[in-house]
Amino acid sequence: MRFAPNLNFSFADVAESTPPTAMIVLSLLVVWMLSGFFFSDPKNNTEISIAIDSEKNIINVKAKQFSSELRLSSVAIQGRTEANRSVLISSETNGIVENILSNKGDQVKKGQIICKLSVDSRKAKLDEAEALMRQKELEWEASKVLVEKGYRSQTKAAGSKAAFDASKALVIQMQKELENINIRAPFNGFFNDNLSEIGDFLAIGMPCGQIIDYNPILVTGQISEQEIKKVKTGVMAQTILSTGEKLEGLVSYISKTADKKTRTFRVEVKIENADFKIKDGITAELFLPTQKVLAHLIPPSSLTLDQDGKIGIRHIDNNNKVIFSGVEIVGDKGELVWVTGLPNKVTIITVGQEFVMENQTVNYTLEES
């Protein structure tokens, strides 16, 4: 059983409380309170006798001592998994699709050819440019010799050098044009979608397909403007997928601009996904660390409600009087929950808390830790 951090509500708020985790906590309290009427012991499922001192009318209860620990508080938001990056791989030259070398869903490597366009006249143009370059190189070499012997001016020699340089630039251009018939993957990922077919004409900028990178995977969510100042990048965050899988990742990005409609800020958490087991689009719950707080780790059965429906704990002071302290649930650990709002060291009533009132004097027996 899990509890979302920073949960604080009353019965009056139930109608407006929509998060599932809040309803879980409330249901737990109702079940516990009802079970108290039947004096049920959660450990051995036998009846508990709430003893009463007939002379002093003092109830005997069971209690346990707890000490606070320093832990990191967090904010819970709803989110989903997303691919780290996704791009449409587009043609950098005009041409007809001659071959598609990957199938949808294939894992691809950076630089791998995905689509190939027809060569057409590109190879012939490159051969022509290379021949012209060799000719201009010979003219430039001859021009240098003539200048050394005084038969040609420096100006004419400079013209030969410029013509040679221009021919080299043309060769580089033709080589690039020929290379551009190969449309390659820009990074490691998966060929997610084929957006062209063999025989299609692709102009410059038209897509051949889509490449998606799933490692790392992102878990994204929207955080309110009230909570945004509490969260920062560079810290580790916890997330629980709808599949039940618990993961940890780095808070890598927090938007500096709120969504105009929701007034919330985008948050991204990067999670290692080398085996690609985490899929895109899975619902998740994000727990973003905020600040260190002193908290107590207690069983949820110790939680109770006061007359106003406020969630809290009934504990015993040095004079054996009952005190009710409101608490805030800030996390969970296995079957236990972390709460704040209690003294550093506290004696919590674990059995009989529903049968005593604030300021009432009680006798208690300490349970072993």
User: How does pLDDT run across 346-358, given as a tens digit for each residue?
Assistant: 999 999 888 899 9
- Whole-angstrom distance, CA of residue 276 vs CA of residue 251: 20
Question: Is pLDDT above 80 for 41?
Answer: no
Confidence of residue 273 (pLDDT cuts 50, 70, 90): very high
In tens, the pLDDT along 80-93 reads 999 999 999 999 99
User: Which of 25-29, 90-94, 131-135, 323-327 is least confident?
Assistant: 25-29
- Whole-angstrom distance, CA of residue 210 vs CA of residue 195: 7
- Whole-angstrom distance, CA of residue 77 vs CA of residue 290: 13
- Whole-angstrom distance, CA of residue 290 vs CA of residue 75: 7
Confidence of residue 35 (pLDDT cuts 50, 70, 90): very low
Q: Structural domains in the chain? A: 11-74+293-366 (2.40.420.20), 76-85+214-290 (2.40.30.170), 88-212 (2.40.50.100)
Which one, of 150, 153, 157, 208, lies nearest residue 180 by Cα? Answer: 208
Average pLDDT on 18-31 reads 46
Q: At 254, list the tokens.
A: 């927090």
Which of the two residues, 69 and 44, has the higher pLDDT score? 69
Question: Is pLDDT above 50 for 282?
Answer: yes
Confidence of residue 333 (pLDDT cuts 50, 70, 90): confident
User: What are the phi and psi torsion angles at 117 (to 5°)?
Assistant: -90, 160
Specify whether the CB–CB gap between 249 and 238 falls below 8 A. Answer: no
- What is the amino acid identity at position 53? D
Which of the two residues, 116 and 309, has the higher pLDDT score? 116
- Whole-angstrom distance, CA of residue 86 vs CA of residue 88: 7
pTM for the whole structure = 0.62
Confidence of residue 12 (pLDDT cuts 50, 70, 90): very low
Query: Kindly report the CA angle at 307 between 301 and 311, in degrees rounded to 5?
Result: 40
Residue reference for tokens 């919590």: 348
Average pLDDT on 154-166 reads 86
Cβ within 8 Å of residue 160, ≥6 positions away: 136, 139, 140, 142, 143
Measured CA to CA in angstroms, residue 302 lies from 3, 37, 185, 222, 310 at distances of 14, 15, 57, 33, 14
User: Which of 61-65, 192-196, 221-225, 353-357 is least confident?
Assistant: 353-357
Average pLDDT on 285-293 reads 89
Question: Is pLDDT above 70 for 127?
Answer: yes
